[in-house]
Amino acid sequence: MSDTTESNPRITPVVVGDSRFDDDDELLDGLNPEQREAVVHRGPALLIVAGAGSGKTRVLTHRIASLIRNNEAWPSQILAITFTNKAAAEMRERVGHLLGQVAEGMWISTFHSACVRILRREAENFGFTKSFTIYDSQDSRALVKRIIKDLQADAFGFTVAQVTGKISKLKNELSDADSYARQANFSDPQDAMFVEVFRAYSRALRDANAFDFDDLISQTVFLFRAFPQVAEKYQRRFRHILVDEYQDTNHAQYALIRELTRPPESNELSGLSSFGGGGASLTVVGDSDQSIYAFRGADIRNIVEFERDFPGARVVLLEQNYRSTQNILSAANAVISNNFDRKDKKLWTAVGDGEKIVGFTGYSGHDEAQFVADEIAKLREGGMAYNQIAVFYRTNSQTRALEEIFIRSALPYRVLGGTKFYERAEIKDAMAYLTSVANPFDALALRRILNTPKRGIGPATETQLASFAEREGIGYRDAMRRASELGLGPKVTAAILQLAGLLDEATALADPERPGGEAPVSEVLALLMEKSNYVTMLRASRDPQDEARAENVEELLAVTKEFNRNNPDGTLIDFLTEVSLVAAVDDLDDSSGTVSLMTLHTAKGLEYDAVFLTGVEEDLLPHRMSASEPGGPAEERRLFYVGITRARKRLFISLAMTRAQFGETAVAMPSRYLQEIPAELMDWIQSPGMATSRGGTEPRALNASRGRSYGGSGGGSGSRWNSDSTFGLPPAPPRQKTEWANRVTGQVRDNGDLELVPGDRITHTDFGEGRVNQVTGEGSKRVAHVSFESAGPKKLLIKIAPIEKL
């Protein structure tokens, strides 16, 4: 990474005259002048505007290391907020590497993790216990659903999604049920009912000793505001606060930062602080062009108005890109320049143009996926490692087609996010057992396991138990222990008592006071699963899927063991916290030799040698839902921009003319953003206008009338594709589309023991005839390398490929 900034007229020379930094060379080596400035600047506030790939992580880690190395701060005085746990771990490692030792006591974590840490310490100040549960969005939804039912709020037209969405939004703006009630319009029965629902929801969380995701931030702010002496503790402790991805902070997070950087009330100097008794020094890093979380309350104004918010703030611009080729950057610059209302910023690089961006238009999502798979195979042959290749898409549902083709092509891949392991019902069940042990107040968790596996404890019994607990003013666990007082049938009573006994036994095992200390999480879970017969029940089931579920539970057991290995002192609560706060990227394994599939949102902050941007179609990117939201299309453009700028060397952009959505095939139009990429930067293998199929088969009828009119944005100047076509040609008529879709998806087969050897001739339903060159792999993973006469070389998973030996 050489310093080539002399050629850039925009730079201002930075004087590093302060003797403090004289022996600091090592930390400044290889940094360009702006990066150096961002590392060495000292003051109350610093905004680093870091374009994509401009080395901001490097700057942040060097800045932290420099603070510690120069004895300007103890590690414990530093709080660094990152966007994901993975980024936090990486930053910790890099700082440790720079300093030559692990910096103990430094807080490097996400907003949520930092807040959980604070809340666990301080919970008892405001009516929670330190073993509170964290509700994920599924839990919140379940709770709201129940409340809507109880209050019969569905009569007012409330849906669960609406209510959870509104509550989340309000919490991100630091409103709670009371403050909302104060300005609610009670003459509107719907609004009045919403107040009731919000109240009931908040009360239920409090009663359950639980916080939802949004609470983690907002309640920490409330805590600081209500207990100044608590706030002061943290204001004194953290003298340097650094926040990454500042453009994606919401109001609650902004307020939290404000609280933390406020000068402590009593003005005594503390230790090594470089700013007397004032507020902590704040460094934020961000790029408003990469703001893609407005939908969850991120407020772009936080970064745009930073200088006004923090007077005396210094701003450093990082525009030199060290990641991508010029072609990729030019495309990114061209696209993002269509967003008005932004500070002009142009990424540039010294590495040269690189290859052109490759474009492809498939007839269907499957055709597109096949293109991706084929290109990945070529990249691989060219020596690129699978883990340097990523495929991005707008919505998780797009993974289906990609996965089908990838499996068939024997490409090793990994889907990040999506239907996450921890969201599966059986995992949720097992986790609910653990939660019930850790937090006996959590009614939601208890309710989930009360009759899972079936114990004959139905809704009627549950209600009785609940009202008994309320009547007596006791917790659920106590109520269960006293089940015999309820006058229920002997079988039900015994079942309740047995479950209570099991939970008590597990609680004793997880008790830190226990002789020998708290038992490892895996032991607690093993006991619960064993004695509840949960896994036994699954294995005995006739439903074939239950076998897979049982295996998932076993997998969870393995996860707990792994957790215990990595965290010998890790408690049950620690485990539950960790699981609640994992992000999709967090289980990205850099060393796995697989292609990564993820949404554009998940891709933020990552980089790959080769990137495939798929589904670049109207209604998908920009997504249909974004059209109605203010600022929606601009945010979608930023999303596209984020995707483009993830690529180092190769960028592939693809779309399909029809897409399976809803179980049926719908017409798809090229995205308006495609036209924004200068034509000379792209090489279309098959542009949206080209009407011939890739295998060279006959042209498909693409001249049917349009399904809907395409109201392109701006432009309107006609074709930009470097083919002879008109823009936005409509797709094939429905019958042909379905045929195509069926031909690819319709065949699930099992060739189990088909023996193939090099030289065999085979026929494939899609690719026609070909010759087997080589067979690799074993058992069900045997792969045939086939040269097809018309479709070229392919790799096929023998077990499931639609092939026959000739």
Partner DNA sequence: GCTTTACCACTCTTC
Partner DNA sequence: GTGGTAAAGC
Q: Which is nearer to DNA, 251 or 394 (CB)?
A: 394
Beta bridge partner(s), residue 769: 763
Question: What distance in Å separates the CA atoms of residue 40 and residue 296, rounded to the nearest whole number?
Answer: 34
> What is the rounded CA–CA span in Å between residue 125 and residue 223?
8
Q: Which residues contact 710 (CB under 8 A, 6 or more apart)?
A: 618, 669, 728
Q: Which stretch binds DNA (CB under 7 A): 45-53, 383-391, 587-595, 660-668?
A: 660-668
Going by DSSP bridges, is the β-strand pair 783-788/768-776 parallel, antiparallel, or unpaired?
antiparallel
Encoded one letter per residue, x for contact with DNA by CB under 7 A and - for no contact, window 395-434 reads: xxx-------------------x-x-----x---------
Can you tell me which of 435, 461, 522, 671 binds DNA, judged by CB under 7 A?
A: 461
Of the candidates 367, 362, 321, 369, the one whose C-alpha atom is nearest the C-alpha of residue 345 is 321
Question: Which of residues 155, 460, 508, 558 is near DNA by CB under 7 A?
Answer: 460
State the DSSP H helix or E strand holding residue 373, giving kind and residue range, or none if neither: helix 365-381
Nearer to DNA, 385 or 460 (CB): 460
Task: Tell me, residue by residue from 728 to 757, as one string, x for binding to DNA by CB under 7 A and - for no binding.
Answer: -----------------x------------
Closer residue to DNA in complex, CB, 153/585:
585
Nearest to 690 by CA among 728, 659, 635: 728
3-state secondary structure string across 447-480: HHHHCCCCCCCCHHHHHHHHHHHHHHCCCHHHHH
Please answer whether residues 185 and 191 qualify as being in contact, where contact means their C-beta atoms are separated by less than 8 angstroms.
Answer: yes
Would you call 120 a catalytic residue per the annotation?
no
Q: How far apart are CA 16 and CA 67, in angstroms?
A: 15
Q: Identify which range of 33-41, 429-437, 623-631, 672-680 contacts DNA by CB under 7 A.
A: 623-631
584 lies in the binding site for DNA (CB under 7 A): yes
- At residue 658, the 3 state secondary structure works out as strand
51 is known to lie in a ligand binding site: yes
43 marked as binding residue: no
Longest dimension (CA), the chain: 87
Give the start-end residues of each E strand in 182-310.
210-212, 240-243, 281-286
Please state the three-class secondary structure of 694-723 as a single string.
Answer: CCCCCCCCCCCCCCCCCCCCCCCCCCCCCC
Query: CB of 454: closest distance to DNA in angstroms?
Result: 4
Residue 71 lies near DNA (rule: CB under 7 A): no
Is position 629 an interface residue for DNA (rule: CB under 7 A)?
A: yes
Q: 515, exposed or middle or buried, with CB in 10 Å at 0-12, 13-18, 19+?
A: exposed
Phi, psi of 677 (to 5 degrees): -85, 125
Nearest to 42 by CA among 283, 338, 386, 264: 283
- What is the rounded CA–CA span in Å between residue 241 and residue 248? 17
- Answer yes or no: are the C-beta atoms of 57 and 90 closer than 8 Å: yes
DSSP 674: G
- In this complex, which beta carbon is closest to DNA, that of residue 271 or of residue 746? 746
For DNA, which stretch binds (CB under 7 A), given 39-47, 293-301, 561-569, 712-720? 293-301
Task: Report if residue 623 touches DNA, rule: CB under 7 A.
Answer: yes
- Residue number, 209 or 626, with CB nearest to DNA: 626
According to CB under 7 A, which one of 87, 98, 432, 583 is a site residue for DNA? 583
Interface residue with DNA, options 459, 501, 512, 695 (CB under 7 A) = 459
Minimum distance from CB of 543 to DNA (Å)?
Answer: 8
Judged by CB, which is closer to DNA: 510, or 660?
Answer: 660
- Told to judge if 229 belongs to the known catalytic residues of this protein, a careful annotator would answer no
Residue 240 binds to DNA (criterion: CB under 7 A) = no
- Name the token pair of 473: 């003013």
Q: Which of 101, 159, 592, 726 binds DNA (CB under 7 A)?
A: 159
* Residue (339 or 451) nearer to DNA, CB: 451
* Residue 254 sits in the site that holds DNA (CB under 7 A): no
Q: How far is the CB of 45 from DNA (least distance, A)?
A: 25
Judged by CB under 7 A, which stretch of 657-665, 683-691, 701-709, 765-773 contacts DNA? Answer: 657-665
Give the range of 66-74, 226-234, 360-368, 389-397 binding DNA by CB under 7 A. Answer: 389-397
Site for DNA in 82-141 (CB under 7 A): 84, 110-112, 137
- Site for DNA (CB under 7 A): how many residues? 47
Is residue 80 at the binding interface for DNA, with CB under 7 A as the rule? no
52 is in an annotated binding site: yes
CA distances from 756 to 38, 588, 771, 791 (A): 61, 35, 10, 20
Interface with DNA, residue 601, by CB under 7 A: yes
Using CB under 7 A, which of 21, 126, 295, 563 touches DNA?
A: 295
**663 lies in the binding site for DNA (CB under 7 A):** yes
Residue 50 in marked binding region: yes
DSSP annotation of 186: T
Stretch that binds DNA, among 472-480, 599-607, 732-740, 763-771 (CB under 7 A): 599-607
Q: Which stretch binds DNA (CB under 7 A): 117-125, 383-391, 578-586, 784-792?
A: 578-586
CB proximity list for 745: less than 8 A, separation 6 or greater? 366, 404
Is 581 a binder of DNA (CB under 7 A)? Answer: yes
Cβ of residue 671: shortest distance to DNA, in angstroms? 14
Distance of CA 301 to the CA centre of its chain: 23
**How far is 656 from 686, CA to CA, in rounded Å?**
11
Please answer whether residues 80 and 94 qualify as being in contact, where contact means their C-beta atoms are separated by less than 8 angstroms: no
Shorter beta-carbon distance to DNA: residue 479 or 660: 660
When binding is defined by CB under 7 A, the residue of 492, 529, 595, 642 that contacts DNA is 492
Out of 1, 102, 155, 161, name the contact with DNA by CB under 7 A: 161
| Backbone phi and psi for residue 268, each to the nearest 5 degrees, phi listed first | -95, 145
Closest CA to 726 of 746, 707, 706: 706
Using the rule CB under 7 A, is 552 a contact of DNA? no
Residue 132 burial (C-beta neighbours within 10 Å; 0-12, 13-18, 19+): buried
Any binding-site annotation on 312?
no
Distance between CA 47 and CA 747 in Å, rounded? 55
Q: Is 56 a catalytic residue?
A: yes
Exactly one of 63, 236, 646, 672 is catalytic; which is it? Answer: 646
57 is catalytic: yes
- Is residue 456 within the footprint of DNA (CB under 7 A)? yes
Q: Residue 455 or 649: which CB sits closer to DNA?
A: 455
Selecting among 245, 299, 375, 426, the annotated active-site residue is 245
- Report the interface residues with DNA, using CB under 7 A: 84, 110-112, 137, 145, 159, 161, 213-214, 293, 295-296, 394-397, 417, 419, 425, 451, 454-461, 492, 542, 581, 583-585, 599, 601-602, 623, 625-626, 629, 660-663, 745
The annotated binding site is made up of 50-57
The annotated binding site for ATP is made up of 50-57
Residues with a known catalytic role: 56-57, 244-245, 290, 646
